[in-house]
């Protein structure tokens, strides 16, 4: 049976390396909130959506990876 590989990219604020490791490697024990200040507008988000996506991909026998640079957005790759 074949594999399907999907890449989703955005041009948002990006995800720092510590948060990426929390999403991909560690069980999520609480919502990790990262506040990012840009041009006097505070943006905050949780990594919970990506963590849930990772769990769903793993339930389907796949893998998920992140590539992100702060200020340049994120690319999420998963295969099932």
CATH number of 5-41+51-79, picked from 1.10.260.40, 3.40.190.10, 1.10.800.10, 3.30.565.10: 3.30.565.10
Cα gap 45→19, rounded to integer Å? 11
Cα gap 74→10, rounded to integer Å? 6
CB contact at 8 A, 77 and 4: no
CB contact at 8 A, 72 and 2: no
For the segment 17-72, what is each residue's pLDDT rounded down to a tens digit?
888 887 887 665 554 445 444 444 455 565 678 888 888 999 999 999 999 988 88
- pTM of the entire predicted model: 0.71
């Amino acid at each position: 049976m074949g594999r399907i590989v999907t890449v989703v990219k955005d041009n948002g604020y990006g995800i720092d390396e510590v948060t990426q490791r929390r999403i991909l490697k560690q069980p999520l024990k609480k919502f990790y909130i990262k506040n990012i200040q840009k041009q006097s507008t505070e943006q905050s988000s949780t990594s919970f959506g990506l963590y849930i996506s990772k769990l769903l991909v793993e339930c389907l026998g796949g893998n998920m990876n992140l590539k992100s640079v702060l200020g340049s957005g994120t690319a999420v790759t998963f295969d099932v």
